[in-house]
Structure 1
Amino acid sequence: MKTLLLNKDEVGSLIDLDAVLEAVENGYKAFNSGKVVQPDFMSIELPGSHACIDFKGGLDLAGGYITIKSSAGGYKGNPELGLPTGMNTVMLFEASTGALRCVMDGTWITGCRTAAAGAISVKYLAREDAKTLCIIGAGNQARRQLRAIIRVRDFSEVVVWNASPGALDEYVREMSAETGLDIRKCETAEEAVRAADVVVTTTRAHRGPIVQKAWLKPGTHIVAIGSDMPGKQELGADIFKEAKVVNDAVELCIKYGDTQHAVNEGIITPEEIHAEIGEILLGKKAGRESQEEITIFDSVGMAIQDTVTVAMLYEAALDKGLGTPYEFFK
């Protein structure tokens, strides 16, 4: 039996963001159609450090694949060894046989499928007349969110804030040149949020809430990306009180997402969460229902996003003859 090995460059050459958007949207629909088996993820931390490896796995009954993805991060000493501080690897199994069909570098996968999640929420939850996009953060995910979101909506202005002025200047310079958009840096997070119709938060979420309720205009859509572990937070918990709250997966977001703080503080109950995004895509629940309501999409990331994206890339690699076949056994 042959297993296909795909390195980072090979995976990168196969990435088609429009195809990723379609795959993730279908994955959300499958999840809320009962066609996904998704156990809780596992995290193993190195004692006395922030270094850890997370493992997410899931079964896509519609596509016939199982994936397990490892995400290593926080290894601050790695650059001295010639290694990145974070690494991602994905294994793709054929569900009907258990055969390992592919092992691929997951660097592009995590970033692109996360960007697709934010863009899908903007497509279905932001006001049709939204014109100003706010990005909080200036790292790789902040770049990917912008690339994905402008595929589903047109914005006349983009405002950006980041805690590091140097990273902020670099973001504005690079992304203005890449997209041709009017991108304006802001001196404070408050300045950026107050100007926005759509707010996207892409920080590490270690410093406590960045976005405050008083800064939000009526009708704002919020995409909360950074919180994916207990204790992380980007949004003031009181924002959830009168907002329409949509999660990628309620079970995960009340543990790991920004939603955890609103639930833990008694601001909302899990039953008051309006919907999972797949329910809206399937028409089981309403999306935006007024120009005035504030909508929140809280996403911690789901294994089904990895599974549908990896399966698509594996099949594309077979079509293009990319990768290295390896026989673990004959």
Structure 2
Amino acid sequence: MRTLLLKKDEVRRLVSKTDVIGAVEEAYKAYSSGQVEQPPYLGIHLPSRRGEIDFKLGYYSVNEIISMKAHSGGFKNNPAEHGVPNSMGTILLFDARSCALICIMDGSLITGIRTGAAGAVSVKALARKNAKTIASIGTGNQARMQIRAINEIMKIEKIHAWDSTPETGCKYKADIERELGIPVIVASSKKEAVEQADILVTTTRGTGSLVEADWVKPGTHIVAIGTDQRGKQELDPELFRNAKIIVDSFSQCTEKGETWHPLNKNIIAKDDIHGEIGEVLLGSKPGRESDDEITIFDSTGMAIQDNTTASKIYQNAIANNVGTFFQFFEE
């Protein structure tokens, strides 16, 4: 029994944005059609505001793969104190027929890329067809991932960006304009950015309402990425009162996602949640039904996204003879 090891540079060579968007669409459809077993994910917040680490586990009956991912974030002192990145990820793949470990791969790129693809899938399914302008609240690594993926499925004419750290916003502007040729306007306030948006993307580690309901114009599609644990929040709960709410996972979003906040304040009830993105993709629930609707996609991130994405990378590695095999034990 041999196990394949894929390092970060190897994973980078084996992944494409188009592949990942397809893998995430497959993941959402599989989850909403009962082909996935996915226990609630676990998160550990380390002491002294050090950071957090999440563990996500999933089984997909179609590919017979069990995936397990560990992903850490928020460890700001890591580079200086420990010589490692402030965010790291590792994915294990098991053959579900035997539970043998078939692959260990770096997961730091996969988390970012598949999360970016999630936003793109929601834009494809829920944004207005004439949407052209994006507002980005937050301009870190995930904000870039979102734009790269969304740029694969629509023509972005302009981005209005805001960040709590102006220097970060200016670097985002330079990077996006150089890489993608999309004009970026660094807004002086969150309100100024949000008011321009056809599509609003939030990618912060916020712990309070960053986007007020009365800033958002009719017809906006909101991609809410940052809230995946209790205590995090980016949107004014009032935004949910008259919006069409689409979640990646009903159970996760009502317990740990952005949707928890309006539920907790009794602004909405669980019955007011329109459905899961997988149901929209499968055609069992309608997507956008008018150009005036505000649609909210609450993305908490799911193990099945890691499963389908990592499985595609593993298949590409085998097909292209990339990576290093090793054995834990003699057969």
Bin of the TM-score, shorter chain as denominator length: over 0.9
Partner of 1:101: 102
The secondary structure found in structure 2 opposite 1:89 is strand
Partner of 2:46: 46
Partner of 1:198: 199
Q: What one-letter code is carried by the residue in structure 2 that aligns with 1:240?
A: F
Distance 1:46 1:217 in 2: 39
Q: Deviations over 1:38-92 (max 9, x none)?
A: 0001123333434332110000111110000001223344222211122100000
Distance 1:156 1:73, change over 3 A: closer
Partner of 2:230: 230
Q: What one-letter code is carried by the residue in structure 2 that aligns with 1:144?
A: M
Partner of 1:33: 33
Query: Identity of paired residues, percent?
Result: 48
Distance 2:210 2:46 in 1: 28
Distance 1:248 1:237 in 2: 18
Partner of 2:240: 240
Q: What one-letter code is carried by the residue in structure 1 that aligns with 2:180?
A: T
Distance 1:77 1:131, change over 3 A: closer
Shift of 1:270: 1.3
Q: Deviations over 1:152-207 (max 9, x none)?
A: 1112211111111101001001101111112111111100000111100011123x
Distance 1:296 1:45 in 2: 27
Q: Deviations over 1:279-299 (max 9, x none)?
A: 000000000001111000000
Distance 1:75 1:186 in 2: 28
Distance 1:35 1:89 in 2: 24
Partner of 1:220: 220
Q: What one-letter code is carried by the residue in structure 2 that aligns with 1:28?
A: Y
Stretches of structure 2 that go unaligned for 5 or more consecutive residues are none
Tell me the matched-pair count. Answer: 329
Partner of 1:167: 168
Distance 1:115 1:74 in 2: 19
Distance 1:91 1:179 in 2: 33
Q: What one-letter code is carried by the residue in structure 1 that aligns with 2:152?
A: R
Q: What one-letter code is carried by the residue in structure 2 that aligns with 1:91?
A: L
The secondary structure found in structure 1 opposite 2:234 is coil
The secondary structure found in structure 2 opposite 1:307 is helix
Q: What one-letter code is carried by the residue in structure 2 that aligns with 1:321?
A: N
Distance 1:200 1:8 in 2: 27
Partner of 1:123: 124
Structure 1 residues 141-180: aligned runs within 5 Å: 141-180=142-181
Partner of 2:253: 253
Partner of 1:304: 304
Please tell me whether residue 81 in structure 1 is matched to residue 72 in structure 2.
no
Stretches of structure 1 that go unaligned for 5 or more consecutive residues are none
The secondary structure found in structure 2 opposite 1:62 is coil
Q: Deviations over 1:212-242 (max 9, x none)?
A: 1111111110000000100110000000000
The secondary structure found in structure 1 opposite 2:161 is strand
Q: What one-letter code is carried by the residue in structure 2 that aligns with 1:328?
A: F
Distance 2:43 2:9 in 1: 27
Please tell me whether residue 136 in structure 1 is matched to residue 137 in structure 2.
yes
